[in-house]
Amino acid sequence: MTISATSVRFDEHTMWVELSDGRTLGVPLAWFPRLLHATPDARERVELSRVGLHWEALDEDISIAGLLAGRGDVTRSTEHAA
């Protein structure tokens, strides 16, 4: 069974994702800088798919598998010690 998002909502600091299995995930917006800095209107323009969430105007894609694994924005580069 594939778990998918059925709805997404936001408060000041959190993205709330309702899942098809009845769970609700609360994810800090700080994990996703594009969403954190987006307007409320831009955040609401999310497209739900079988595997994740997509914001065309923000160039943001978030997989449900990644959220369940506790992963934030994986596009940010990490600094490595020399």
Domain locations along the chain? 5-68
Alpha helices by DSSP H, listed for 28-77, are: 33-36, 40-44, 64-68
Chain centroid to Cα 27, Å, comes to 7
- Give the whole-angstrom CA distance, residue 72 versus residue 82: 25
Fold that domain 5-68 belongs to in CATH: NE0471 N-terminal domain-like (3.30.2020)
Task: Write out the chain's pLDDT in tens, 82 residues.
Answer: 689 999 999 999 999 999 999 999 999 999 999 999 999 999 999 999 999 999 999 999 999 999 999 988 866 544 444 4
Tally of residues, the chain: 82
Tens digits of per-residue pLDDT, 28-43? 999 999 999 999 999 9
